[in-house]
Amino acid sequence: MASDIPKVVPLTCHGHSRPVTHLSFSSTVEDEQYYLISACKDNNPMLRDGITGDWIGTFLGHKGAVWQSRLSADAAISATAAADFSAKVWDTYSGECLHTLQHAHIVRAIAFPIQINPQVLATGGAEKKLRIFDLSRGSGGGGSNNSSPPLPPTGGDNGSTATSYEIGPGVHGGTIKSIVWSQDYNVVTTAAEDRKIRWWDLRSRHPVVEYGVDGNIGSCELNSLATRPADAGILTVAAGKSVYLFDGLQPGRLLKKVDFGYEVASAAVNSESGRLVTGSAEDTWARVYDLNTDEELEVQKGHHGPIWSISFSPDGKLYGTGSEDGTIKLWKACREPYGLWR
């Protein structure tokens, strides 16, 4: 059985000069609009119109490969994690760098809360430390919605004095590759190179659950439709030759494990349409599966390198793939006319 979505030509987004390491969509903002941010080894994260893929701007300032990039829930600010030992926070509309958060090693992962509170940011990387930054508070204290004590400010440009505290010192046994904030503000998930997924309680600063996976972790994301009210979402982890689907609200609860005959580098799900999309470390194709039956429905060809990141748009009507070949492709994932496929 083939997919019931007619095949159309994907939109190809050029502009990056090196491998694209990560893609992330914003939530839907005014007038059904949403945005796409991409991280790349060319040091220059880019912002695009999420529906058309049109380039809006490039965030300039990193001096090393950018490993991950995300937009806040309201898309007002952006954050990037880079190999220059820093994370940066940007004004999405002006492109101005608001904070440079210095680290002692490569920063690989970054996350905002799903709730619209863009003044808090989590970072992780080769330091093996999960840090929570309060962007609204300098050394003078001030309001915060967590109970962490005031800390000395970290260095930053534009007078940045964002304070930070570490969650669970010494627990991670490898580089933190991904951080995901749950619908529950107090629960954060990390995926590390020690092949462990950990769910953390920010109040106790201890892991609630640890889950070991079979193989190196490629991607770990909460499906973007989870920003809808009353939808806990699915935490999708690509590791080794498997995709693990966890309950988005209940830490450590495995809904399903799907095994493949290839190394899975990236994966994303759309729970509404019942689709799972994977990218492989061994070829250049995006494969679409039925989420319920595991049947392969479609093989999307067009990239010229492995697909390192996959993300569904917030309305689920398209998904983006970011590749080693330096391009991003947007693929139609709905039956009705949509975007530039009208």
CATH-assigned architecture of domain 11-341? 7 Propeller (2.130)
Q: What is the pLDDT of residues 23-76, one digit of tens each?
A: 999 988 878 899 999 999 999 999 999 999 999 999 999 999 999 999 998 899
Report the distance separating Cα 107 and Cα 8, nearest Å. 37
Q: Which helix (H) or strand (E) holds 70?
A: strand 66-71
Looking only at the bridges linking them, the beta strands covering 163-167 and 130-134 are antiparallel
Q: What is the pLDDT of residue 177?
A: 98
Do the beta carbons of residue 286 and residue 323 sit within 8 Å? no
Do the beta carbons of residue 98 and residue 80 sit within 8 Å? no
**Quick one: tokens of 136?**
């609204």
Do the beta carbons of residue 50 and residue 25 sit within 8 Å? yes
User: pTM for the complete prediction?
Assistant: 0.90
Query: Looking at the DSSP assignment, which residues form a beta bridge with residue 78?
Result: 71, 90
**Quick one: tokens of 225?**
């439709």
**Quick one: tokens of 118?**
């863009």
**Cα dihedral value 92, 98, 103, 107, nearest 10:** 0
Do the beta carbons of residue 308 and residue 19 sit within 8 Å? yes
Q: What is the pLDDT of residues 157-214, one digit of tens each?
A: 444 568 889 999 999 999 999 999 988 889 999 999 999 999 999 999 999 999 999 9
Mean pLDDT across the stretch 265-291? 95
Q: Pick 24 or 145 by higher pLDDT.
A: 24
Mean pLDDT across the stretch 214-241? 85
